Structure 1
Amino acid sequence: MRWQTVRLISIYAALSAITNFPSGFTNSSVNTAVGKLHKFIATSLRKEGFPDDEGTIALFQSATLNCWFVAQIFGAMMTPMISDKYGRKIGYIVCVTTTIFATFVQYFSMCFYLPWGLILGRSLTALVSPLGDACLLLYVQETSPIEIRGMSSFLCEIGYGTMCVLGMVLGMKSVLGESLSRLLLLSLIPLFVSLCFVIRIPETPKFLMIMRNNREKALESIEYFQGKSPENKFLIEDYDAERMTEKASDSTFVDLISKWHLRQAMRLALATLSLTLSFYPILQSSTYFLLESGIPDEVSQICSTLAQVVLTLSSIFGASIIDRFSRRKLLILFGILSNVLLVCFAFFSHLSSTVVSPYSWTKYACLASLLTYCISFGMVLGPLSWFVAPELVSQRHRCTIFSACFAIHNLLIALTDFATIPLFRIFGSMCFVFLFVVPSMLCLCYIYLYMPETLGKSTLEIIHEMLERGKNGAENFKLDTPTLKVRPRMFSSTTDICVY
């Protein structure tokens, strides 16, 4: 592997850590520190004169956890306006500076027992989280050479899993879980380092050439990311041809509704993302679920952290197989597997919490089901779910459809995640079956019928396969995807658009 490739992967790894630290660390640290969060809410309610019964505490706890996903909906709608108009680098700077301010808000809210301040701080962080995710995806797609684009895109999920592990480890009682305020204050250190790093890297060459028409800066950016090469001038010419084609019309959210292939791409992307909904309650509240299943406190915390370690390692392994096998088959296979494992987790958790037995095998079966579920999620479902929407559309629609799917997905997360803990209190672990498994099986049926294969195919070939699988609308379908001047075609493992 060339030194320039190692350097570029290191840059992507740093960007992935910067992007995923707020969401991964913030959401996972309150998982293992669930006891301290519960105590903080109860103390705050007493100080404010509100009733501190379990129902009120559960309501505030759900609001604290799920305000994240509600705020992300609005953040996703703002993302194209910032990243497409001002640039990916400016988007990153806005994301990190807002996160630093929000962290101070959360810290002082913990110090003065202000639960609404904690919700406000988490909401501000979540508001810019989609912006960071979109900028990471665009940086990888617009700066990486073809031969490492697949592996580079998997760094997004690997970075998320790593930050979740970090948050869970620091949130354990034996580390910093005894003090939520110190836990939040510690996160300021990597955030300031992230801001310095983001300021130093250049804007992506595609944005500089296509949106700014700055040939000199675009060439400097290519040389920064890929090194000096005679091919760089040809890349600039390709970007210029794309600029001349793309400037005729910009992508809008209206296009996603008015054009059949974009509507179908959204439906398929959302069906795929729906398969991941069950992961988010486990990310935030697995310690609570294990405690309710009769597993000791310390063991629950360790297993929750271990689950994230397993997920991260699975993502690393998944990066080695994603370009070797049919993505459609992988998606369907692991979608079925994850739902079977979720049913097993619900069943054994129900037995463990309701059936009195001198044996503890049901507890171990519950833990095994949870860990195996994390393997299936991290290996395929987690990373692949975000590839679907960009792969099904042309370059100019990618940021728009990513933002729209991100917003709708987070609305679904907010609704299901908010309902999980109250329903878990009423029905126990079996709530996972009707809340997640049944809808997932319906989505898998839709994916089986209409999802095209994307591996090794161009965007036009993928759209035409969508037409073949979804006969309705094909008669009136008119392809408006720009045709670019290309050299001999090679297919990217993550975008499948013609790249050069």
Structure 2
Amino acid sequence: MSSAAHSIRPIAILLCLAITVNWQYGFSSTYLNTPVEQFKEYLNESLGGDISEGTYDLWWDLIQNIWFVGFFIGIFLNPVLNDRLGRRVGLLIANSAILIAAILQWLAVLLHVPILLIVGRVIASTFTAVAFQALVLYLQESPPTHIRGTASFLSEMSFSLFCAEGTMLGTDQLLGDNLTWLTASVIPICAFSVVIMFFLPETSKYLLMSGAERSVVEHSVRFFHGPDANIPVILKETEIEIAEETISSTWSSILDLIRIPHLRKTLFLSVCCLQNCVALWTFIYNSTLFLEDINIESGIAKWAATAMCVSYFVCTVLGGTFVDRWGRRKILIPFSSLHTATIALFTLFSQLQKVQDFWKYFAVATLILLAGSFGCGVGAISWFISSEMTPIKYRTLMQSASYSINTISVVISTFVVLPFYFWIGTYCFLILYCIPSVLALIYISRNLPETRGREIHDIVNELKG
């Protein structure tokens, strides 16, 4: 089998897996952004009519931001489901719960019961956190080392694609005027995501770590690498990685992430990388509002939000193409810097618009560039870099710790950004996003190792060094 075929097989399998996880995730992250008026009418009708602006704001903030509360809870289920039960079982349970959540959200709109929408989003976000972390583990543990970066980008590629889909479907020209069909559109793929798990094997690294029979482990390697895979070499590298640590990744060992120097350094690096991802949620959720406030017409603002998501997707595809050629550092640091700069520029242009109206068009372009710079590497690399620097026995615990800290940052920023925004305007972005990101980038540029094409046990040894 040719080298290209060896690469295409795992990429195709893992892309299919990434799509099943991120279709719902991307859709749920953006479908509220464009049909804002329709959801306002829905809440007004569901709550008896003539609701006050304050009541609407309370319900709307809860519907939007409850996602992060559920996601935070789901992060702590990661070691329980994905470590103790395995990546495959964890993903099967998560996808089943997400299907139920999708049905609840559809019923909430159909029956005009807003509390069901909140319950559905809590369940969806809780188990999306489990599914997302299981997906990252699959993308890190299943493919050959030389395409691990490209494979890991598949999560961000599919997520960005379905962010664009959710935003586009929410426009008036598509399903924005029919919330019942909008919320129902994701149910079939959620059902498919459950079915596909019955045909997907566990990762070979987890099987080897958990003491599975050799034939089962070899079947997993052949499934992801192809029938001509050099199984002895692949398993030898995995055995070296597993042998690096002797303590299991259980909650009783959480203090090891602080006590052991190389794990502490990895945790801090992971949190700093993820800090650069915090701002995106604010702009995905509220870009339409921000643009309308600088005198962009409502219809144009909605399509500008869609253009943001398209830019995000296209640039993620480009980043996935180059990540295994250029390396993580050469992509992450420059594009994280550009991403932070675009936030500062949007702040500048939105203020200049008050003086000359034409600056609003520069603000629109800056938002599209913001999403593109994020897609080129900020998002994807930040989410998987902790897995590339952590031994397998600590991997789910490291994920949970770094993701939970990041989620706390996201929850705080998303709940306070609008009050800050209405108080001091776009200057709030400098305080909430730019300053923390600059500090994080200083630490990353000094301490982040290059992980491209290296076995994880080799990277861990450098961090120990």
TM-score using structure 2 length? 0.92
Q: Displacement, 1:137?
A: 1.6
- Measure how far apart 1:243 and its partner are: 6.0
The residue type paired with residue 267 of structure 1 is F
Q: 1:456 to 1:432 in 2, by over 3 A?
A: same
Distance 1:398 1:240, change over 3 A: closer
CA deviation string 1:279-323 (max 9, x = no partner): 111112211211222111111111111111111111111123323
User: Counterparts of 1:465 and 1:438 in 2: how far apart (Å)?
Assistant: 29
Q: Distance in 2 between matches of 1:446 and 1:150?
A: 22
Q: Corresponding residue for 1:67?
A: 66
Contact 1:130 1:406 in 2 (8 A): no
Q: Which amino acid aligns with 2:103?
A: F
The answer as to 2:41 corresponding to 1:43 is no
Among 347, 360, 363, the residue aligned to 2:360: 363
Q: Which residue of 2 aligns with 1:141?
A: 140
Q: CA deviation at 1:124?
A: 0.4
Match of residue 316 from structure 1: 317
In structure 2, the partner of 1:12 is 14
Cα distance in 2 for residues equivalent to 1:74 and 1:166: 26
Alignment of 1:259-278 (within 5 A): 259-278=260-279
Within a 5 Å distance, the mapping from 1:272-287 to structure 2 comes to 272-287=273-288
Aligned match of 1:86: 85
- Deviation per residue, 1:214-249 (Å, 9 max, x gap): 212222222222222362245446556766776664
Which of 434, 439, 442 in structure 1 is aligned with 2:436? 439
After superposition, the Cα gap between the structure-2 partners of 1:335 and 1:183, relative to the gap in structure 1 and judged at 3 Å, is same
Q: Which amino acid aligns with 1:30?
A: L
- Aligned equivalent of 2:302: 301
Residue 24 of structure 2 is matched in structure 1 by 22
Larger deviation, residues 189-198 vs 370-379 = 189-198
- State the alpha-carbon separation in 2 of the partners of residues 81 and 44 from structure 1: 38
CA distance in 1, matches of 2:297, 2:459: 50
CA distance in 2: counterparts of 1:66 and 1:414, whole angstroms: 7
| Alpha-carbon contact 1:63-1:418 (below 8 Å) kept | no
Match for 1:116: what amino acid? I
Aligned to 1:38, the other structure's residue is in SS state helix
Task: State the shift of 1:209 in Å.
Answer: 2.9
Q: 1:42 to 1:422 in 2, by over 3 A?
A: farther
Q: State the structure with more CA Rg.
A: 1
1:397 CA drift (Å):
1.6
1:470-498 deviation line (CA, Å, top 9, x unaligned):
xxxxxxxxxxxxxxxxxxxxxxxxxxxxx
- Please state how far the C-alpha of 1:278 moved relative to its aligned partner: 0.8
| Structure 1 CA distance for aligned equivalents of residues 140 and 388 of structure 2 | 11
- CA drift of 1:463 comes to 5.2
Larger deviation, residues 445-454 vs 142-151: 445-454
Q: Provide, for residues 53-88 of structure 1, a one-character-per-residue CA deviation record: whole Å limited to 9, x for no partner.
A: 323322221221111111111111111111111121
Q: Deviations over 1:428-462 (max 9, x none)?
A: 22221212112222222232343344445565665
Q: Secondary structure at the match of 2:33?
A: helix
Task: Please list every run of 5 or more consecutive structure 2 residues that lacks an aligned counterpart in the other structure.
Answer: none
Alignment match of 2:410 (pick from 403, 413, 423) = 413
Give the whole-Å Cα distance in 2 for the aligned partners of 1:329 and 1:43.
52
Call closer, same or farther: CA 1:439–1:107 in 2, change over 3 Å.
same
Contact 2:35 2:171 in 1 (8 A): yes
Residues 399-478 of structure 1 mapped to structure 2, 5 A cutoff = 399-455=396-452, 459=456, 462=459, 466=463
Higher helix share: 2
Q: Which residue of 2 aligns with 1:33?
A: 35
Distance 1:239 1:75 in 2: 28
**Cα distance in 1, alignment partners of residues 287 and 229 from structure 2:** 52
Q: How does 1:237-276 map to 2 (within 5 A)?
A: 239=238, 249-251=248-250, 252-276=253-277
C-alpha distance in 2, partners of 1:410/1:349?
28
In 2, the alpha carbon distance for the partners of 1:231 and 1:178 equals 54
Aligned partner of 1:166 in structure 2 is 165
| Partner amino acid, structure 2, of 1:369 | T
1:387 corresponds to 2:384: yes
Alpha-carbon spacing, 1:388–1:61, altered in 2? closer, same or farther (3 Å): same
**Map of 2:186 onto structure 1:** 187
Q: Distance in 1 between matches of 2:7 and 2:452?
A: 23
Instruction: After superposing the two structures, state which structure 1 stretch, 303-312 or 226-235, moved more.
Output: 226-235
Normalised by the size of structure 1, how large is the TM-score?
A: 0.86
Distance 1:154 1:232, change over 3 A: same
**Residues in 2 aligned to 1:462 and 1:240: alpha-carbon distance in whole angstroms:** 15
| Residue 138 (structure 1) shift | 1.7
* Residue range with higher mean Cα deviation, 99-108 or 4-13: 4-13
Alignment CA distance shift 1:394-1:277 (3 Å)? same
* Maintained 8 Å contact 1:19/1:133: yes
- Deviation of residue 103 (structure 1)? 1.3
CA contact (8 A) 1:150 1:323 kept: yes
Q: Alignment partner of 1:175: what SS?
A: coil
Q: Distance between the aligned counterparts of 2:28 and 2:452, measured in 1?
A: 34
| Distance (whole Å) between structure 2 residues aligned to residue 237 and residue 459 of structure 1 | 13
1:386 is paired with a residue whose SS is helix
What is the RMSD of the two structures over their aligned residues, measured on CA atoms? Answer: 2.4
The Cα offsets for residues 102-149 of structure 1, whole Å up to 9 and x where unpaired, read as: 112112222333322211110100101121112112222222122322
Distance 1:256 1:55 in 2: 43
Q: Is 1:256–1:266's contact at 8 Å kept on the other side of the alignment?
A: yes
2:335 is equivalent to residue 334 of structure 1: yes
Runs (5+) with no aligned partner, structure 1: 469-500
Q: Is residue 94 of structure 2 the alignment partner of residue 95 of structure 1?
A: yes
